[in-house]
Chains A and B, each alone.
Chain A
Amino acid sequence: MKTLSPPVKILFYAILVLAAIIAIYPIWFVALAAIRPGQRLLTLNLVSMFIPAEITWDNFNMLMFEKPFFTWLKNSLFVAGLTTIFCVSLATTGAFAFSRFSFKGRESVLVLLLAIQAFPGVLALIPIMQILRSLGLFGSHWGLILAYATGTLVFTTWNLKGYFDTIPIDLEEAAMIDGAGPIQAFIQIALPLARPALAVTALFGFLAGWNEFIMAEVMLVGKEAMYTLPVALNKLAGDRTVPWGLFASGALLISVPTLIVFLSLQQYLESGLTMGGVKG
Chain B
Amino acid sequence: MGVSIRGWRKTLIIALFILPTILGVTLLSLYPIGYNIFISLTNRSRFYMQAPANIWECVPKTPRFYCWNEPLLGNYIELFGPLLEGAALLAWLRFGLLFLPLIITNWLVSRTKKQSLSPPDTWWWWLVSMAASVAMWYVADVQGALNVLMRANDFFVVMFRTCLYVAACIPLFFIVGLIIALILNNDEIKNKGAWRTLLIFPWAVPSYITALIWQFFFRTEQGLFNQVLRSVGVANPPAWLQVDVWAFAAVVIINLWLSYPFFMTIILGALQSIPADQYEAADVDGATWWQKLKNITLPLLRPAVMPAIVLSSISTFQMFNTVYLVTDGGPIRGAGQPGATEFVMIYGYKTLLRGDRYADAGAFAMVIFILLFAATLFSLRMTRITKGAYE
Once the chains bind, are B21 and A91 in contact (CB under 8 Å)?
yes
B29 close to chain A: CB less than 8 A:
yes
Once the chains bind, are B209 and A251 in contact (CB under 8 Å)?
yes
Residues of the B chain whose Cβ atoms lie less than 8 Å from the Cβ of A277: 303-304, 307, 387, 390
Residues of the B chain whose Cβ atoms lie less than 8 Å from the Cβ of A173: 1, 3
Closest approach, in angstroms, between the C-beta of B307 and any C-beta of chain A?
5
Chain B residue, CB-CB nearest to A132: B28
Residues of the B chain whose Cβ atoms lie less than 8 Å from the Cβ of A177: 3-4
Assuming the A-B contacts A123-B348, A258-B205, are A280 and B380 also in contact, with contact meaning beta carbons closer than 8 angstroms in the complex? yes
Residues of the B chain whose Cβ atoms lie less than 8 Å from the Cβ of A119: 29, 32-33, 365, 369, 372
Q: Which of A29, A131, A183 contacts B27 (CB 8 A)?
A: A131
Once the chains bind, are B17 and A94 in contact (CB under 8 Å)?
yes
Q: Beyond the given A1-B283, A89-B20, A90-B21, could you list 15 further A-B residue pairs with CB under 8 A, ordered by the A residue number? A: A15-B183, A19-B199, A23-B261, A97-B18, A98-B18, A111-B380, A115-B376, A116-B25, A118-B375, A123-B361, A124-B365, A259-B201, A259-B204, A262-B204, A266-B196
A60 close to chain B: CB less than 8 A:
no
Tell which of A20, A118, A154 has the most Cβ of chain B within 10 Å: A118
Once the chains bind, are B32 and A26 in contact (CB under 8 Å)?
no
Once the chains bind, are B203 and A279 in contact (CB under 8 Å)?
no
- Expressed in whole angstroms, the Cα–Cα distance for A40 and B197 within the complex equals 29
B72 close to chain A: CB less than 8 A:
no
Q: For residues 1 through 40 of chain A, which have their beta carbon under 8 Å from a beta carbon of chain B? A: 1-4, 9, 12-13, 15-16, 19-20, 22-24, 26-27, 29-30
Residues of the B chain whose Cβ atoms lie less than 8 Å from the Cβ of A233: 209
Please tell me which stretch of A51-59, A67-75, A101-109 contacts chain B, meaning at least 4 of its Cβ atoms lie within 8 angstroms of it. Answer: A101-109
Residues of the A chain whose Cβ atoms lie less than 8 Å from the Cβ of B270: 274
Residues of the A chain whose Cβ atoms lie less than 8 Å from the Cβ of B279: 1
Tell which of B29, B204, B213, B320 has the most Cβ of chain A within 10 Å: B29
A167 close to chain B: CB less than 8 A:
no
Once the chains bind, are B269 and A30 in contact (CB under 8 Å)?
no
- Expressed in whole angstroms, the Cα–Cα distance for A46 and B29 within the complex equals 48
Once the chains bind, are A113 and B25 in contact (CB under 8 Å)?
yes
Residues of the B chain whose Cβ atoms lie less than 8 Å from the Cβ of A182: 1, 5, 13
- Expressed in whole angstroms, the Cα–Cα distance for A91 and B210 within the complex equals 29
Once the chains bind, are A103 and B213 in contact (CB under 8 Å)?
no
Residues of the B chain whose Cβ atoms lie less than 8 Å from the Cβ of A278: 307, 380, 383, 387
- Expressed in whole angstroms, the Cα–Cα distance for A117 and B280 within the complex equals 42
Once the chains bind, are A23 and B314 in contact (CB under 8 Å)?
no
Closest approach, in angstroms, between the C-beta of A80 and any C-beta of chain B?
11
B187 close to chain A: CB less than 8 A:
yes
Residues of the B chain whose Cβ atoms lie less than 8 Å from the Cβ of A127: 31-32, 35-36
B273 close to chain A: CB less than 8 A:
yes
A169 close to chain B: CB less than 8 A:
yes
- Expressed in whole angstroms, the Cα–Cα distance for A124 and B195 within the complex equals 39
B186 close to chain A: CB less than 8 A:
yes
The 3 A-B residue pairs with the shortest CB-CB distance in the complex, in nearest-first order: A274-B269, A270-B269, A94-B21
- Expressed in whole angstroms, the Cα–Cα distance for A128 and B24 within the complex equals 12
Interface size (B, Cβ < 8 Å)? 105
Once the chains bind, are A12 and B183 in contact (CB under 8 Å)?
yes
Once the chains bind, are A44 and B222 in contact (CB under 8 Å)?
yes
Residues of the B chain whose Cβ atoms lie less than 8 Å from the Cβ of A280: 307, 310-311, 376, 380
Once the chains bind, are A115 and B373 in contact (CB under 8 Å)?
yes
Interface size (A, Cβ < 8 Å)? 96
Once the chains bind, are B35 and A130 in contact (CB under 8 Å)?
yes
Residues of the A chain whose Cβ atoms lie less than 8 Å from the Cβ of B231: 46
Closest approach, in angstroms, between the C-beta of B172 and any C-beta of chain A?
13
Closest approach, in angstroms, between the C-beta of B66 and any C-beta of chain A?
14
Closest approach, in angstroms, between the C-beta of A87 and any C-beta of chain B?
10
Q: Which of A4, A42, A97, A151 contacts B188 (CB 8 A)?
A: A4
Chain B residue, CB-CB nearest to A103: B14
Once the chains bind, are B269 and A121 in contact (CB under 8 Å)?
no
Once the chains bind, are B208 and A211 in contact (CB under 8 Å)?
yes
Closest approach, in angstroms, between the C-beta of A141 and any C-beta of chain B?
16
A210 close to chain B: CB less than 8 A:
yes
A147 close to chain B: CB less than 8 A:
yes
Assuming the A-B contacts A16-B195, A182-B13, A278-B380, are A29 and B33 also in contact, with contact meaning beta carbons closer than 8 angstroms in the complex? no
Tell which of B1, B13, B35, B188 has the most Cβ of chain A within 10 Å: B1
Once the chains bind, are B206 and A120 in contact (CB under 8 Å)?
no
A254 close to chain B: CB less than 8 A:
yes
